[in-house]
Amino acid sequence: MGLVVLAALAAMVLCSCSTVKQWTGSGPAEGPMDIDVTVFGTMPDGQDVRNYHLRNATGMTADIITYGAIVVALEAPDRDGTMTDIVLGYDNLADYLKETPYFGAIVGRYGNRIGKGKFTLDGVTYTLATNNDENHLHGGLKGFDKVVWDDEPVWRPDGVGVKLTYLSKDGEEGYPGNLQATVIYVLTNKNELRVEYEATTDKATPVNLTHHGYFNLTGGKRDILGHELMLNADKFTPVDAGLIPSGHRVDVTDTPMDFRKATAIGARIDDDYEQLKFGGGYDHNWVLNKNGKIMTPAAKVYEPTTGRVMEVRTTEPGIQFYAGNFLDGTLTGKGGIVYQHRYGFCLETQHFPDSPNKPGFPSTILRPGSKYQTTTVYRFSAK
C-alpha cells in the first residue's frame, strides 16, 4: 500500500513538471502527454479511489479510476476535431457504488455467464455466486468491477497509462486459487485505448477478463441505433432464454446477426428472429475470424452524424456485442444525461460464455505456472 501511495505521489510530481496539468478544452490541443492523479472519491471504509486523467499528444483524454478499473470518461475527436466524451458512466463514486450495469468496468474473474454458476474442473465441482437468475454473470456478486485495484502510472514512448493490479483470493465468489490479475490501460498517441490483461494463479481456475465500456459515439445525443457496425465474424454462438450458449457455432448468413458488411445497429434489432427475443435485442457472442493470426480486427463502428469511428482489435477469439437493451431510462449519468433504451453499446472482447461447461469452446482454464495474457485495442478516428 505504501508503495502505491509513493507511486501516486511520484506521478503527481512528474505531472507538475509537465506544462499541461489538466486539459479541459473543447478542441484538439497538441501538446505533451500527461498523467494527472486526483482523488475521485472515498469508499465507505475510508479508502481513497484515485482518478488517472490521461492525456495523449493529440489531446485525446481518458479518465480511469481505481474502483472497478472503470474508464469513467473518454474524449475523442469528431470529423471537425471537436472532443466529446463518448462513454457512459457517472461523475461521482457514490453513483457507481449505488447501481451500475458495469459501466466502463473490467469484469472478472469470468466476464459473461457461467450456466447455473457451476463447473467441474479436474474432477471437482465448484459452485459460484449466482447473480443473474440461476446463472453467474461477470464474476458474481462482487466481481472485479466492484473492488479497489492497486495502481501505478505507466509512461511509454508512445503513450501514457495506468497499471492496475488486484489479488482475487482463493474461494472468492466460489473460484479456486489465488489469482493475481493485472490490467494496463494505455492511451497511445495513435488515439488508441490499449488494454493489456495478465493473470497468474496458484490453482487451476477459469479466467475471462474483459472491458465493459458502453460507447455512444454521438456523445450521448441520441441512442446508438444509427451507429453502423461491422463485426469480423462468420459465426455466432446461439443462446437459450437465459443467454447461455448451446455450445454450437452458427453461420450468420441470412440472419440479423450478419454484420460482415457494416449495418446500422437498429436496422434489424427488432426483427422476428428467436435469438433476438432472448436478451431483447443483440446480446450475443460472435466467433471472430482469426485466420491463424493472434491479433485480429474484430469490429468497426461508424457514427454518421459526427464521423467518429471506433475500431477494435484483439487477441481474443470472441466478442460480445450488447446493444444496451437493459437500459430503460432509470439511470441518469454524467452531465444529467438520461440513459434511455439502447443508449450505449458494448463490444466485450472475450472467450465464449460458459466455456468452463462447453468442452468444444476454446479453454478458459489457467493453470499454475502459465500466464494469462490478452490484449485489446480500441482505436478512435473520424471521417
322 part of the interface to ligand GLA, by CB under 6 A: yes
Three cell numbers, residue 335 = 452531465
The only residue of 188, 218, 320, 374 in contact with ligand GLA, by rule CB under 6 A: 320
Using the contact rule CB under 6 A, the part of the chain among 37-45, 53-61, 146-154, 320-328 near ligand GLA is 320-328
Strands of 328-371, DSSP E: 346-350, 365-366
53, 212, 227, 284: which is the annotated catalytic residue? 212
SS3 115: helix
The alpha-helical segments, DSSP class H, found in the chain are: 2-17, 93-98, 274-277
Site string for ligand GLA, 233-262 (x = CB under 6 A): ----------x-------------------
Q: Is 283 in the site for ligand GLA (CB under 6 A)?
A: yes
Residue list 77-136, contact with ligand GLA (CB under 6 A)? 101-102
Q: Name the segment binding ligand GLA (CB under 6 A); options: 174-182, 298-306, 319-327, 337-345.
A: 319-327
Nearer to ligand GLA, 39 or 241 (CB): 241
CB of 190 to ligand GLA, least distance (A): 27
Note if 348 is an active site residue: yes
Q: How many CB atoms lie within 10 A of CB 131?
A: 16
How many chain residues touch ligand GLA (CB under 6 A)?
Answer: 11
- The H or E element that residue 126 is part of is strand 124-127
Task: Provide, rounded to whole angstroms, the least separation between the CB of residue 281 and ligand GLA.
Answer: 10
Please state, in angstroms and rounded to a whole number, the distance separating the CA atoms of residues 325 and 283.
8
The residue among 98, 101, 117 whose CA lies nearest residue 109 is 117
Q: Which stretch binds ligand GLA (CB under 6 A): 30-38, 171-179, 195-203, 318-326?
A: 318-326
Whether the CB-CB separation of 160 and 54 falls below 8 Å is answered with yes
Does 326 interact with ligand GLA (rule: CB under 6 A)?
yes
| Cell digits of residue 286 | 460472435
Q: Which is nearer to ligand GLA, 185 or 322 (CB)?
A: 322
Rounded-to-integer distance, Cα 163 and Cα 156, Å: 12
- The helix, strand and coil proportions of the chain, stated in percent and rounded to the nearest 5, come to 10, 40, 50
When computed from its CA atoms, the radius of gyration of the chain, rounded to whole angstroms, is 20
Answer yes or no: 152 catalytic.
no
Show the binding pattern over residues 196-235: x = contacts ligand GLA (CB under 6 A), - = does not. ----------------------------------------
Residue 273 binding ligand GLA, by CB under 6 A: no
Name 41's bridge partners.
Answer: 49
- Residue 323 makes contact with ligand GLA by CB under 6 A: no
Residue selected from 265, 346, 347, 382 as contacting ligand GLA according to rule CB under 6 A: 346
- The CA distance from 4 to 12, in Å, is 12
Q: Are 118 and 130 in contact (CB under 8 A)?
A: no
Q: Which residues are catalytic?
A: 212, 348
Q: Give the residues lining the site for ligand GLA (CB under 6 A).
A: 101-102, 137, 243, 279, 283, 320, 322, 326, 346, 348
